[in-house]
Amino acid sequence: MRSGIRRLSVLSAAALVLLAGQAGAQNLVEVRGADTKYRYVDWSYTWKSAAVVDVFYIGVPGSNELNLGGGYAFKRGRLVLTPLVYAVFGKEDSQRGVKVALLASFEKDGWKLLSFLGAYARASGEVRPYQVLDTLDVTRTFAARWEAGVQSGFFRAGGAWNPQVGPLLKLSDRRGAWAISYRFGPQREFRAGRVLTF
């Protein structure tokens, strides 16, 4: 398992090096933060061929993870499904593992859906397997640049759940979008984020 994670890390690094010469591709950078000390920084790159490389850091109190991976976007009409595989390296508890995930997006008649669902399997260290939905956004466009809707998510580990749901507001501009949400659940959370595409 460890050699597989090392291979995946090397392949991800090699893909990053090849990015400079690609035309017609898209970079996406996303930053999120919350009053719960949740923090998230993501960079992804999608080639014209629909191959994707994705690197993200996610942190909460007691956990700091770096995820290196990629996948391929399958498009059917307005639906885009992107299966992804990551090598996961955690700062705490000698965490090493693999995460499989599905990124989904759908748009029709002003309605938008965006979702990231993942499952972590341990290779070594003390961090137990977990499942995460971060996040599921359902919004409706109004007044051209604005979207309003609902954001939900959960974290499940060892049989314990932490579901959250609440209102979401987004404002688009020529560089990307701003977002704020307030999520209710066992833990309440005010979250703000920024997405840039170029």
Per residue in 52-66, pLDDT (tens digit) is: 999 999 999 999 999
User: 139: cis peptide before it, omega within 30°?
Assistant: no
Predicted TM-score (pTM) of the model is: 0.86
Report the C-alpha gap between 119 and 158 in whole angstroms: 13
Domain boundaries, the chain: 2-17+25-189
C-alpha dist (Å) from residue 138 to 15, 64, 112, 195 = 32, 28, 6, 16
Q: Which CATH class is domain 2-17+25-189?
A: mainly beta
**Residues contacting residue 20 through CB under 8 Å, at least 6 positions apart:** none
- Taking only the tens of pLDDT, the chain with its 198 residues reads 545 444 544 444 444 444 444 445 899 999 999 999 999 999 999 999 999 999 999 999 999 999 999 999 999 999 999 999 999 999 999 999 999 999 999 999 999 999 999 999 999 999 999 999 999 999 999 988 999 999 999 999 998 999 999 999 999 999 999 999 999 999 999 999 999 999
- Tokens representing residue 32 in the block: 């999120």
